[in-house]
Amino acid sequence: MLVGYMRVSKADGSQTTDLQRDALLAAGIAPDSLYEDRASGKKEDRPELAACLKALRHGDTLVVWKLDRLGRDLRHLVNIVHDLTERGIGLKVLTGQGAAIDTTTASGKLVFGIFAALAEFERELISERTLAGLASARARGRNGGRPYKMTPAKVRLAMASMGKPGTKVSDLCTELGITRQTLYRHVSPTGELRPDGEKLISP
């Protein structure tokens, strides 16, 4: 099943999704399978994107007019693409710099694989920085302070660090400013997301 997503930056009527809609319909997407947001690319609250990603199922293909219609920034885009890969969902970009991305073709799968590699690279970098931060904190004798609530950034750091041989849970909790109980509510000992964590970082 093909599912389309489109976005314009302003909700004041000065921009329309007509061009995107026409292209997506021409690509074979049914009108009732189109999702539309009117919000800045930097804005986190995009309810239609969230609904679109939630509606996608294994074997579906998400189609966008241009790659910049999908992600807020490179990190957000990489996270979305990685999530789609994990769920067995394809991505097709119709035009622009990302038009080579079409996981229904062999060459498109290669490009898609590059995004997955970027996501893995990003996780490794986060893990390295976290471990370095923990070592630095220990060297300064930091004991931490009042625990604060979990945030999306802390969840991603915890995912990258948990399960790594050099990570001590007590040190990680100190660095993140959370309790052990809070950590385990969001992330498993092997770094897998738990329901509370999924709620925090879901697009």
Active site residues: 9
Secondary structure (H, E, C), the chain: CEEEEEEECCCCCCCCCHHHHHHHHHCCCCHHHEEEEECCCCCCCCHHHHHHHHHCCCCCEEEECCHHHCCCCHHHHHHHHHHHHHCCCEEEECCCCCCCCECCCHHHHHHHHHHHHHHHHHHHHHHHHHHHHHHHHHHCCCCCCCCCCCCHHHHHHHHHHCCCCCCCHHHHHHHHCCCHHHHHHHECCCCCECHHHHHHHCC
